[in-house]
Copies of this chain bind each other. A is one copy, B any other.
Amino acid sequence: MLQQDSRIPLQKIATKLKVPKSTVHYRIRRLEREDLIQGYYAKLDASKLGYDYLAVVLVRAKYGPQYHKKVGQKLSQVPGVWAVYYVLGDFDFILLIRAVDREDYMRKLESVSSMSDIERTSTQIVARVFREDPRVDTGA
């Protein structure tokens, strides 16, 4: 329920679950302490904020001892890169990048391709987002 609307009143949750409000309060605190709930965020519409140039980038890195840790961390810090997956397949990393326009995208891609550990990148421009909803399916 908190994934649907983090500002739902505790009383409403309590009523639905038929438990006292204090129990709801207590359980939420525990989920927060266990880091299962990682935070409460307002979700903004990226395209309305001008982020209209999206890309999925397939990356090949140069091999070496522990290369994927070093490269993965560096990639995570490139502005505009909001997801960095280390994958087992034809590529080493798959990145999701948001940019304002082509010029902005090229600056961000340049930050990736100029790293000395990066061998190749292949950009797949996103023509349309059919779904992008990172909320976890809790079966609720």
Contact = CB atoms under 8 A, between A and B. Distances in A.
Copies in the complex: 8
A16 interface: no
A132 B85 CA distance: 8
Please tell me the size bucket of the interface on A.
35 or more
A40 interface: yes
A88 interface: yes
Contacts of A102: 127
Given A85-B56, A122-B90, A36 B41 contact: no
B44 A41 contact: no
A98 B136 CA distance: 8
A41 B5 contact: yes
Interface string A116-140: 0011101111111111111111100
B43 A94 contact: no
